[in-house]
Amino acid sequence: MSFIEVTNLCKDYRIAKQEKGITGAVKSLFHREYTVKEAVKDVSFSLEKGEVVGYIGPNGAGKSTTIKMLSGVLLPTSGMAKVGDIIPYENRKENAKRIGVVFGQRSQLYWDLPISDTFDLYESLYSVPKERFRRNCDFFTELLDMKDFLHQPVRQLSLGQKMKANIAIALLHDPEVLYLDEPTIGLDVTSKKVLRDALKSINAQRKTTIILTTHDMDDIEAVCQRLIMIDQGQKLFDGTLEDFRLTYNDGFTVKLEFETTLPTWQEFENYRLLEQAEHHWVVKVTGGISSKDAMIELIRKYDPINLYVQEERIEDIVRRAYG
């Protein structure tokens, strides 16, 4: 049996319809229509211990709702989720002890107190040996470069600084599972890199299972081996990053540079001109043609002085997959 099992998970929300304007608002006081939104529809997947999975999908796809069910906050409408023999929403507190969660757009910090106070709270919440906890505090303070603002009231911190603190908090008690829901919002380039490296090393050293939800595909490429994509509550893809590329990849692009004037472009099958500038072309090659064949063909036809092959970035593939 896998470490995390999600079977036919569904979650419906009841949404009150609101009509426009004041009259609509008044009308809704007396009579209200509800629509049922299926936020998560029959999603199943399983994860082994130590897997790092990117959980992606466009806005409102149901990612956060899935994570909330896995972390025991929400009860599914039907179906089941199991995290290491515990059903999270039936045994919220037990489950909470072994997970670390970051919801990117929310904070777990005391608004009026410094971060160090929230650290104290978490130290007492989890039954982690004190020494170990302190060591983690020092480690993440150092790693995420938080020393300078550790003793400032949280309300005076920037978005990125708060995010760092929230990430640290999720990791202080050595959780077995990490749910990261958009953990890189507001982080600068350096911090993003640090976080990605940290996640990789935590996963390698402690076999921490990680589910990462993000819109930043660089996060996914940097840390995840596996990708699960959902849209409108339904699972669309589940497999390795490589498989994802193969499934949704639509060829690659070749940039051709010319010394003088451009030759005339002739449209032919599987080759499409994407971009044209004074001295270069960008050509899209599809239809499973190998880059070697494409290069030979393009050189033979147009004789460029330089030629670069670019594999499509995950981000572009995802954009197309979202449709």
Interface ranges with other proteins (CB under 8 A): 13-14, 64, 68, 71-75, 89, 92-94, 96-97, 99, 101, 103, 105-108, 110-113, 117-118, 120-121, 124-126, 153
Q: How far is the CB of 135 from other proteins (least distance, A)?
A: 20
Query: Which residue, 31 or 93, has its beta carbon nearer to other proteins?
Result: 93
Q: How far is the CB of 322 from other proteins (least distance, A)?
A: 18
State how far the Cα of 307 lies from the Cα of 255, in Å rounded to an integer.
6
Query: Which residue, 71 or 253, has its beta carbon nearer to other proteins?
Result: 71
Q: How far is the CB of 314 from other proteins (least distance, A)?
A: 23
Q: What are phi and psi of 260, to 5 degrees?
A: -110, -130
How many Cβ atoms from other residues are within 10 Å of residue 274's Cβ? 11
Query: Which residue, 151 or 193, has its beta carbon nearer to other proteins?
Result: 151
267 in Cβ contact with 75 (< 8 Å): no
State how far the Cα of 78 lies from the Cα of 76, in Å rounded to an integer.
5
Q: How far is the CB of 12 from other proteins (least distance, A)?
A: 10
Query: Which residue, 89 or 244, has its beta carbon nearer to other proteins?
Result: 89
Per-residue CA distances from 88 to 2, 4, 74, 171, 268 (Å): 15, 11, 9, 19, 56
Q: How far is the CB of 121 from other proteins (least distance, A)?
A: 5
Query: Which residue, 214 or 249, has its beta carbon nearer to other proteins?
Result: 214
> DSSP states of 164-187 as a string?
HHHHHHHHTT--SEEEEESTTTT-
Report which of 89, 109, 111, 114 is spatially closest to residue 99, judged by C-alpha positions.
89
State how far the Cα of 185 lies from the Cα of 120, in Å rounded to an integer.
25
Distance of CA 284 to the CA centre of its chain: 28
Q: How far is the CB of 246 from other proteins (least distance, A)?
A: 32
Query: Which residue, 81 or 298, has its beta carbon nearer to other proteins?
Result: 81
73 in Cβ contact with 266 (< 8 Å): no
Q: How far is the CB of 237 from other proteins (least distance, A)?
A: 23
Query: Which residue, 109 or 294, has its beta carbon nearer to other proteins?
Result: 109
Q: What are phi and psi of 293, to 5 degrees?
A: -60, -40
